Amino acid sequence: MKKILISTGGSGGHVIPSLIIFDHLKNNFETILVTDKRGTNFIDKNLYPFELIDVPKIDNSIFLFPKFFILFVFSLIKSFFFLKKNKINILISTGGYMSLPLCIISKLFKIKIILFEPNIVLGRSNKVILKYAKKIICYHDKIINFPKNFYNKITVINNLMRKETYNFEKKKNKEKLDTIKILVLGGSQGAFFFDKMVKDVIIKIYRFSKISLYQQIFNLKNHKELENEYKKLNIEYEFFNYDKILHKKLNTFDIAITRSGASALAELTFFNIPFIAIPFPYAKDNHQFYNAEFYNKKNSCWLVSQNNHCTDKIINIFKEIIENKKDYDIKKENLSKISYQNTWNNINKKLIDLINEN
């Protein structure tokens, strides 16, 4: 039986897909999961046993470089002994700098490397390793900044979803949105701006429509301020930081205001939930913008740039939805066209066939 190592870490955007890949492969191969300290926040160790190999975060400061270098060498040494001990056949890297040590040592041991790239822009770490990788799993066949001479390495799959997600009914269309159920997915980057912008939007929307709010909060300093503002107006709300069972609730929402991480947009698309995408403008290679632009070109979302005028634009979108649902319904229908072929069995077969390739 082939021995598969899945390396991940950092944000939920890296970790959640790795857990889904683990579930796809665990019944057919001996599968091991490795993460860094940040990644442990997104893993239930009772369901997914893992090994810890922490990797220092890359810092551009020349003064911190000696510390980074020492810690990175240590992670290389730990990766060396881990791979030597476990006799891995295939490494699947879900991207990010945290996977670099294992990828480097895998190349040294001639272990087959498979990369995962959910974004429409090739990540920097994946770009470094791509030359040595056998294949790269993508959601798109046209990736920005992807070297043309490596196109043959791309394996396209549908967006990865947790297996139990397929058991939930997708959001049914309503003739009228009497109470608009809003999901807010802010992400951890640019939290202060996002929280303030959403607060201003919600307060103004509430003046002309009844709403129910489920809002992700990362910046705890903003928590009390938001809470006080919403309580004054008797707005129905609930805050969360990270919700492990959010996928079980998605089909209860009518619309989302969201950053544009690939995993978040994939889940909203699967449940046909129209979303207002506000990409984090300082993301590496502006990948969040391109993720959102893909859906915007298919007229399945609203794309709003983060600036001083974005609040007014979002409010106008809600006004249009309330006055005339036609555009909302079109976007919902277009999302269903994107997601209808996404099944667990289709993805499962593609991944297993990929692993079994010589």
**1: DSSP letter:** -
pLDDT the model gives residue 174 = 67
User: 180-218: per-residue pLDDT in tens?
Assistant: 999 999 876 667 788 888 999 999 999 888 999 999 987
| pLDDT of 292 over the 80 cut | yes
**Mean pLDDT value across residues 314-337:** 93
pLDDT the model gives residue 194 = 86
What DSSP line would sit under 221-261, residue for residue?
Answer: GGHHHHHHHHHHTT-EEEEES--TTGGGTGGG-SEEEE---
**Mean pLDDT value across residues 13-34:** 95
Does the pTM exceed 0.85? Answer: yes
pLDDT the model gives residue 76 = 94
The reply to whether domains 3-158+343-356 and 166-339 share a CATH topology is yes
pLDDT the model gives residue 244 = 84
SS3 content of the chain, % helix, strand, coil (to 5): 50, 15, 35
**142: DSSP letter:** S
pLDDT the model gives residue 62 = 67
The model's confidence at residue 126, banded by pLDDT at 50, 70 and 90, is: very high
CATH class of the domain whose range is 3-158+343-356:
alpha beta
| pLDDT of 315 over the 90 cut | yes
Q: Identify the helix (H) or strand (E) that includes residue 92.
A: strand 90-93
**Mean pLDDT value across residues 81-103:** 92
Q: What are phi and psi of 194, to 5 degrees?
A: -65, -45
pLDDT the model gives residue 116 = 97
Mean pLDDT of the chain: 90
User: 140-184: per-residue pLDDT in tens?
Assistant: 999 999 999 999 999 999 999 999 999 887 766 766 678 899 999
| pLDDT of 282 over the 90 cut | no
**298: DSSP letter:** T
The model's confidence at residue 59, banded by pLDDT at 50, 70 and 90, is: low
**Domains of the chain, residue spans:** 3-158+343-356, 166-339
| pLDDT of 61 over the 80 cut | no
| pLDDT of 257 over the 80 cut | yes
Strands (E), 150-235: 154-156, 179-185, 210-216
**Mean pLDDT value across residues 251-280:** 94
CA angle 311–270–349, rounded 5-degree value: 145
Homologous superfamily (CATH) for 166-339 = Glycogen Phosphorylase B; (3.40.50.2000)
pLDDT the model gives residue 40 = 92
